[in-house]
Structure 1
Amino acid sequence: MAYKNPQQKFQGKIKEVVLGEGLKLGGESVLPFYSFDGDIGNTPKVGMEVWDIPPVDWPEGLMNIIKDVADDPAKWAKFYTEKYNPDFITLRFIGANPDTLNRSPEECAEIAKKVAKNVDVPLVIAGCDSNEKNARIFTKVAEALPNKNYAFLSAVEGNYKEVGAAVGLAYGNLVVAESSVDLNLAKQLNILLTQLGVKPERMLMNPGVSSVGYGFEYVITTLDRIKLAALEQNDTILQVPIIMPVSFETWKVKESVASKEDAPEWGDREERGIAMEVSTAVGVLTAGANAVILRHPRSLDVVRGFINEMVN
């Protein structure tokens, strides 16, 4: 008798959410890349990170790539889309941080409008380190860019009412629910947003990410538990696509920050950062992330190549 490969069937399915005009996330009814079991949904997407201010501590090789555009986020975003073809651009408002330029929400909105006008890919809007200020930034940016299906990273427990009401209800964009590497916290925030009136098909999740080597096993097991609850237990609250800002974490750890002079045995700083970014991205993609945010163009090439190998 010929061997027949057994298939693992699930009751649940991750909702399909559209970012921008047509970038589809989610839609899978099996575990990540398990095409032999069923429908893997939409191919995971990869975005690139753009700041509203020129970086000062990025590796020299990366700074050389963006040196002619780093002082203008609209030009920077256009350069990335034309040269590297990311699925989306993440516009991160580092300049709104009170410790940097302390940009006003109104200034951020004007910058976001210019970036949106200059690129033909969807945007993910990310704030600064202040959740309180992020709520005001997101409100103004969503108001300036209504009904775009852009994703706002993120709504957290401390600001979800303001972010959810403005981004998801008033101005027709997507709300990203961010929690701290815990299935129950992730589920609770999703419940709170839906009780506020945000529809699940207007939501994404960021259940928390860290760099490899920094509690990463908790990130992976949390992703595993979320996906299994959504698919195996048909938990509709957790059937939301996952986006993870990998670059936000991997480029701030010591392996990516320490200079070659301070740690000569570790080798080139830029190579280390790329290795940390790629390793983290591949890890979360195989555990269930539907989209990742990266910083280095070489990381984008490697991760995209990995995804293509897995789905083809």
Structure 2
Amino acid sequence: MPFNGKSGKFNASINAVEVGCGEKAIKIGGENVLPFYTFDAPIENAPKVGVMITDLGLDNEPEGVKAYYAGCSTMGEIAKKASEMPGADFVCLRLIGADPNGANKSTEECMEIVKEVIDAIDVPLVIEGCKNVAKDTELLSKAADVAQGKNVIILSAREEDYKGIGAAAGLAYNQKVGAESAVDINLAKQLNVLITQLGVQPANIVMNVGTAAVGYGFEYVVSTMDRVKAAALSQNDAQLQMPIITPVAEEAWNVKEAMASEEDMPEWGPVEQRGIDMEVSTAASVLACGSNAVIVKHPVTVATISKMIKELM
């Protein structure tokens, strides 16, 4: 008896969200099949790879990252170099220096950096806060203003601050809003509902459903992304049809495998290579689970993941 394969093409699809302006604008989402199921239907918008930089510069970065940016002394130069990294589709500026428990940079100082980065690059930009709810409400609302006309993603609006960030980014300044939840399909859907009730159009929303480095409760990430994509495509759930963007770098480089010194753990091998391995493994895994874009930082990771995407498409 001949085998007749069943198509995995769905009638529903993930929203296609455009980020950036001009010739280098990108679209994420738009597919109506499971991740990389190009044998069922064409995937017009391949997953995208972003490069993370921070307002703290290069002082705390791995040697391979520092080497790539050698000669860069300003945030504008770092951003431009990041935008030129082989395999990169966009840049993510993380304003970690604004954290009140860290450098506690003022909003005004951070906005000067945002403007410098915007002026230096011609690729799409994602702006991420410092993870302090009170500071991010002010910081990201102002960033949406400074980036007017650039069609950036403001990452992220959470349950605690979605009103301020969603209203500023998604309504007042017509930016894309990143809805961030904590690895739970119900929380992800609830936040999308709340943001759309503000008046933000679904086509202006992307989801950060949360992640973890591989090996650190990653099975929850897998099950959450699988359920999100299944509900969006097979159940035509419009409140879960926003594309997913996943900041991988901040998770992968902050686990013990990427941080323990070679003196303490000689059997683990070179510390930087471990960090790259964690970043590549995590990025590849979330893409296989349904993420439409990943944010990483090491040039080796960007090249590896970009090559993987091309070969699977």
The TM tier, using the shorter chain, reads: over 0.9
**TM-score, normalised relative to structure 2:** 0.95
State the shift of 1:83 in Å.
4.1
Match status 1:86 vs 2:88: yes
Question: Which of 263, 273, 278 is the equivalent residue of 2:275?
Answer: 273
Question: Which of 60, 63, 71 is the equivalent residue of 1:57?
Answer: 60
Query: Which deviates the most, 91-100 or 15-24?
Result: 91-100
Q: Aligned letter for 2:162?
A: Y
Partner SS for 1:10: coil
Distance 1:209 1:105 in 2: 27
Match status 1:127 vs 2:158: no
Question: Which of 263, 277, 291 is the equivalent residue of 1:289?
Answer: 291
2:15 — aligned with what? Answer: 15
8 A contact 1:14–1:240 mirrored in 2: yes
Q: Aligned letter for 1:306?
A: M
Distance 1:94 1:66 in 2: 19
State the shift of 1:305 in Å.
0.7
Question: Which of 149, 152, 157 is the equivalent residue of 2:151?
Answer: 149
1:198 — aligned with what? Answer: 200
2:6 — aligned with what? Answer: 6
Question: Which of 129, 136, 139 is the equivalent residue of 1:137?
Answer: 139
- Within a 5 Å distance, the mapping from 1:15-54 to structure 2 comes to 15-21=15-21, 22-54=25-57
Deviation by residue 1:110-149 (Cα, 9 ceiling, x = unmatched): 2111111111101000111312111111111111111321
Distance 1:271 1:192 in 2: 41
Q: What is the aligned-residue RMSD (CA, Å)? A: 1.4
Deviation by residue 1:153-204 (Cα, 9 ceiling, x = unmatched): 1000110000000011001101000000000000000000000111100010
8 A contact 1:105–1:141 mirrored in 2: no
8 A contact 2:88–2:306 mirrored in 1: no
State the shift of 1:29 in Å.
0.4
Partner SS for 1:261: coil
Q: Percent identity?
A: 50
8 A contact 2:16–2:203 mirrored in 1: yes
Q: Aligned letter for 2:33?
A: V
Q: Unaligned 5+ residue runs, structure 2?
A: none
Q: Unaligned 5+ residue runs, structure 1?
A: none
8 A contact 2:85–2:299 mirrored in 1: no
Q: How many residues align?
A: 310
Cα gap change, 1:188 to 1:97, in 2 (>3 Å): same
Partner SS for 1:205: strand
8 A contact 1:176–1:205 mirrored in 2: yes
Distance 1:61 1:28 in 2: 35
